[in-house]
Amino acid sequence: MYVQINDFTKTIGGKTVLDAIRVGFEEGTVNGIVGPNGSGKTMLLRALCGFIRPTAGGVSIAGKPVVFNESLPERVGVIIEMPGFIAGRTAMENLEYLAGLDGDWDPRETLRLMSLFDLYEHRDKKVKSYSLGMRQKLAIVQALMEHQRLVLLDEPTNGLDRASVTAFLEEIGRQREGGATVIIASHHDDEIRQVCDHIYTMENGRLDTGHVVSPAVVLAGGHGDESAD
């Protein structure tokens, strides 16, 4: 498995927010994690990013362990909650700054993504003039602009209009064709079902891996359960 989570448990203040999560994600697949607010979806993405220290268990990407606050084994694109862009800088300045942190920026790819999400004409405007939806689209651009091999997206369609959601889903399909592994956490399961290869449900810090849903079958109204093992 490209991404492997091994019995990852996280306890905060006596409360178990991730409970022995054990799952693997294959390379070049799009995976959805659906569940209500507070079910642990965002925390799971933080675990994959190495932003939190496990109480037990661990995570590996491409066979290498993810260690808290140490460099990730692979280039990872991420959206977790509200993006913290520098409001007084333009969109392009923000993206250039972020790309400069790990020293590899592809301006052509960035501009392609900006065009795709109708941000091209606004690229030289300060982020403080952006609407919530535009900021979210800019966050998607920053998560994809460096040809990341693993893309982790938490509620990526929040604040997006219908056209942008369609553009986003098409782009995720394109990322899969390019070999990227995508994990999307969302409570808008009707949207992400259109693009996901597998959908897992999460509740109370537990990931239900016994009932992986095949999205196409679900949309057709059939019984789409298949074994995750």
Partner 1 sequence: MRRPWFDLGAQLRDRLALRVALGSIYICILLAYVLGVPDADRFPGMMPRADATPYTALPFDMTSFAFLMFGVLLSLEQPSDYLLADNWMVYIRRRRGLGRFMRYLAVVLAYALAFLFPQLAITWWAVRGSFNGHVLEGFVCSTGMVIVLLLVANIARMLDGRAVGYLICLVVAYGYSGVGDVQHAFVGHTLGVVPNWSIIIVVSVVGLTGVNVTIFNHKELL
Nearer to partner 1, 139 or 212 (CB): 139
Nearer to partner 1, 51 or 120 (CB): 51
**Rounded-to-integer distance, Cα 214 and Cα 171, Å:** 20
Nearer to partner 1, 5 or 80 (CB): 80
Nearest approach, Cβ of 195 to partner 1 (angstroms)?
22
Nearer to partner 1, 100 or 178 (CB): 100
Q: Which of 99, 90, 183 is nearest to 146 (CA)?
A: 99
Residues 6+ away with beta carbon under 8 Å from 216: 224
Nearest approach, Cβ of 77 to partner 1 (angstroms)?
8
Chain CA centroid to CA 100, Å = 21
Amino acid letter for position 109: E
Instruction: Using CB under 8 A, list all residues that contact partner 1.
Output: 12, 46, 49, 51-53, 68-72, 76-78, 80-81, 83-89, 93, 96-102, 139, 142
Nearest approach, Cβ of 142 to partner 1 (angstroms)?
6
Residues 6+ away with beta carbon under 8 Å from 12: none
